[in-house]
Structure 1
């Protein structure tokens, strides 16, 4: 860690990269490795950045923005192919006090245009194949604007916005999430002493706040980070061999995709930790991964197998909310998301906003310095997400008597039937645990018939679906859960949102009564 950097009262999310470069100038620094090289205006292909090189480049980009009239508090939309350019524009714009507005590379142009208009962006950085130059009446940057001019750095205070990100859009049009200088950095500061190895492979979308968070954490600790923007499981395994990370960070889909492969332990020899942020992961996938790699136990001895750090969070938090660590021998699953971090106050509420006791499912709410300042340009929706000073996460959960929390569903995905409420995620967890021949599954209620439809991804495409449904329903009934009415198959990439989450709202509309979609 940079000596004295954490003692700098100016330090926060808006200036971390600049101050870290200044504090380590002339000394060993973090390096940011790229799986796809960055192409400069001069045609140079850059495969890695030191902090100093990144600082010098972003000075020139910031000067280019300033030359064109971009000033403090100006929102600037960034909608690019997956690359280090998101990081470059984050640093350059925050140097000016401007506000980067990140859009995921996979957003369709119409949704992107509507989102950019909603946040009131004053300019757009994009590619013509992603967003046409005439799609919006705004200054348009196809390449990074360079200028040799000097930059006057903006001096951030605690509540200055440093990033507008967007939610995954699983419930509809993405919401614009605001992160500030102090809150976005708070969790990183609290975990600055955590030892998770010296080399990190980040498989997070570079447009997501969590990707910036991981980079800030790595730089603060003086670690080397590789940005893996090519995320097919086979390419990732190649990166493991070449970069030899101790820690791999990603969203749940990354780890599900890896588990679809026939994994060779030799390819995972360097890995000690897996870290996931977002939704809780399924036991089936965690157990397969922790059997790989190796780790050092508390006594300092090398042990076979790795650790899976399951960080439960959402787009509205600049840092994860809960942490559950799985080892090769641990057995606490069943959607347990662990305890909240020490700086987080977690509560479960009923429909009347009253706190609930242990073992009662309700709406999960949190108080934390890391919670978003609100949805940009939508104060009404922001207020509707606040209850008694807590921010509602959009999840159903319960806690046990020891203060551990268990996630059962998204509030938008819970299924109301005449036979009672079905928590889809809880049901899927039970199914995957008992049926290893399934790679993944989703349970939804058909909009037209009200049937409970189970969409499965099979390891063996020739499996008997009717027989499988019978066995699954026997398992559900034995667990006092409602059986499914119909089963069909889905592909691994079907109904997947821009961050890899399952789009159950789309499934509900698509799975018609005649079973026309998928194989009935």
Structure 2
């Protein structure tokens, strides 16, 4: 099944209804959106000569063109490679080269960064800017009927960093994304044609994935005029957008609930805030429910099983009379309907309730594997079970509580930051002998990146030098917020750095133990 048929169906049923809005202004009906996607598909296939199954990258900040780009790619029987707009040009370059994309669709604000990529400069990847004359030329192409696609054909190449420091491309099929769509309706929230999805979070990740269930339900796509997350803008928009839902990182929910205007705002049109991508503190959850009412739903998923492992529904959030309500708010909910979830030991054997082990998920949402990386796929998926790398425990009622992240991922502002990636950059400085990067709890961002640095003998470097090094090689949001220069790193008998000790050091500093 071609995912674009969700859009063509909407165009047939509700041709003149608003499909995409910027703020409160309609910029496309369902018929217009479907027509643009079909013309873009024709241009990509016949105008640019792409073959079925080829990859087309998207490097866009949130905008109306994102929706037509995504569905145009699918309509043409191609696979989308959405990329985080906050990445560094070197990271874009790697993803473009690794995916084999021959075309990248960008917004004007991203053209400079993408244009600096060697694969673009050398002519290996064609850059097309939304709104340009070339873009308008694509939309003037003859429309193409949706290209038939199989359930297990690649639809979305989701790049997620790994412990090796290099991003891995999780291959998401039509089946994976349709499973996610079905689970949204069954486990997260009901959606009608009177509703809307607000894209306050990046459309390259969770917010973009949830385009699918909302297009299936013919619900409007709403892009804030700012293109991003501005609490005052969202609160001001609510009275004018009935049935509004949006996906948010817990840090965004925290900021929205603590915004000065939140207490007196009219939130009757707010339907659902789906949060995920990091830990939500119970205090923040309660505060948000006090401000907005019982409108929170939580999901736990990974790029390898998109948005589909467990869910904590609005009803469960609101069930304050339950004797284990506090524990349930601290959990990530129960397994979603179409998947199996277990907590397992090192051999993958299920553990009894209450015991901590690695979280495993199996079902039609689990990725096809990693793009061009059979070894990483074999390490991650066994007998259909995805080994998430997250540690957790199930209770007797099936609620999953996450304990730690075995891969040491740092989640700051809803974005994953992998220490190894940052460490490898810092180790290129000649004055750095050893380095270890950990996350420290932060009230606004969830966590912040801290680097412990051991200088080389007789050498010295400054935090400013290391900061400049990071800014030249990785995205700004990944760089450490603080550098601590130490004589040595704590290690076990095997020479492995004990990151738990480093976190304890940071906790001691917060408690007055010194820096």
TM-score by length of 2: 0.72
Given candidates 85, 98, 118, the residue that maps to 1:105 is 85
Partner in structure 2 of residue 510 of structure 1: 483
Alpha carbons 1:251, 1:277 under 8 Å: kept: yes
Contact 2:58 2:80 in 1 (8 A): yes
Q: 1:327 aligns with which of 318, 322, 343?
A: 318
Structure 1 residues 102 and 456: CA distance shift in structure 2, 3 A: closer
Q: Does 1:140 align with 2:127?
A: yes
Q: Answer yes or no: is the 8 Å Cα contact 1:250–1:275 preserved in 2.
A: yes
Question: Which residue does 1:173 correspond to in 2?
Answer: 166
CA displacement at 1:227 relative to structure 2:
2.6
- Which of 181, 198, 201 aligns to 2:198? It is 201
Give the drift of 1:281: 1.8
Does the aligned pair in 1 maintain the 2:41–2:143 contact within 8 Å?
A: no
Kindly indicate whether the alpha-carbon contact (under 8 Å) linking 1:248 and 1:274 is maintained by their aligned counterparts in 2.
Answer: yes
Q: C-alpha distance in 1, partners of 2:439/2:300?
A: 27
Take 1:357 and 1:187, find their aligned partners in 2: how far apart are those partners?
Answer: 28
Question: How far has the Cα of 1:308 moved from its partner?
Answer: 1.2
- Check 1:20–1:32 CA distance in 2 against 1; reply closer, same or farther (3 A cut): same
Q: 1:72 to 1:452 in 2, by over 3 A?
A: closer
- How many Å separate the matches in 1 of 2:169 and 2:367? 10
Q: 2:160, 2:235 → 1: CA distance?
A: 28
* Other-structure match for 1:368: 363
Give, in angstroms, the shift of residue 94 of structure 1: 1.2
* C-alpha spacing 1:266/1:377, structure 2 compared with 1 (3 Å): same
Q: Deviations over 1:29-55 (max 9, x none)?
A: 46222249xxxxxxxxx8432211101
User: Against the structure 1 CA distance between its residues 181 and 14, is the aligned structure 2 distance closer, same or farther, given a 3 Å change threshold?
Assistant: farther
Which whole-Å CA distance do the structure 2 matches of 1:449 and 1:77 have between them? 34
Residue 113 of structure 1, CA deviation: 0.3
Report how far residue 184 of structure 1 moved.
0.9
Whole-Å separation in 2 of the counterparts to 1:200 and 1:366: 27
* TM-superposed deviation, 1:455: 5.0
Contact residue 389 and residue 405 of structure 2 kept, 8 A: yes
User: For 1:320, what is the secondary structure of its paired residue?
Assistant: strand
Alignment of 1:168-317 (within 5 A): 172-192=165-185, 194-195=189-190, 198-208=195-205, 210-228=206-224, 229-262=227-260, 263-293=262-292, 305-317=293-305
What residue in structure 2 maps to residue 156 of structure 1? 149
Mapped to 1, the partners of 2:330 and 2:160 lie a distance apart of: 22
SS of 2:139's equivalent in the other structure is coil
Aligned to 1:7: none
The secondary structure found in structure 1 opposite 2:308 is coil
- RMSD over aligned Cα atoms: 3.8
Asked if the contact 1:67/1:147 (under 8 Å) is kept, the reply is no
- How far, CA to CA, are the matches of 1:453 and 1:55 in structure 2? 44
Bigger helix share: 2
Residue equivalent to 1:51: 30
Aligned residue for 2:427? none
C-alpha offsets along residues 69-104 of structure 1, whole Å, 9 cap, x if unaligned?
A: 122111112212332322221111111111121111
Is 1:62 the counterpart of 2:60? The answer is no
Give, in whole Å, the separation in 2 of the partners of 1:502 and 1:259: 23
Flag the 1:355–1:274 CA change in 2: closer, same or farther, 3 A: same
Give how far 1:284 is off.
Answer: 1.9
2:114 maps to what in 1? Answer: 131
| Superimposed CA distance per residue, residues 203-259 of structure 1 (whole angstroms, 9 cap, x where no aligned partner) | 231112x33432221222232331332212222222224424443322223213224
- For 1:273 and 1:398, the matched residues in 2 are separated by 27
Aligned counterparts of 1:204 and 1:452: Cα–Cα separation in 2: 25
Q: Give 3-state SS (helix, strand or coil) of 1:182's partner.
A: helix
Aligned to 1:331, what secondary structure does the other structure show? helix
Post-superposition shift, 1:14? 4.4
Q: Distance in 1 between matches of 2:162 and 2:264?
A: 36
Q: What's the counterpart of residue 19 of structure 2?
A: 31
Q: Which residues of 2 match residues 396-415 of structure 1 at below 5 A?
A: 396-413=391-408
1:381–1:17 CA distance, 2 compared to 1 (3 A): same
- Count of residues in Structure 1 that have an aligned counterpart in Structure 2: 422
Q: Conserved in 2, the CA contact under 8 Å of 1:170 and 1:502?
A: no
Q: How does 1:344-359 map onto structure 2 within 5 Å?
A: 344-359=339-354
Tell me the distance in 1 between the aligned counterparts of 2:102 and 2:237.
38
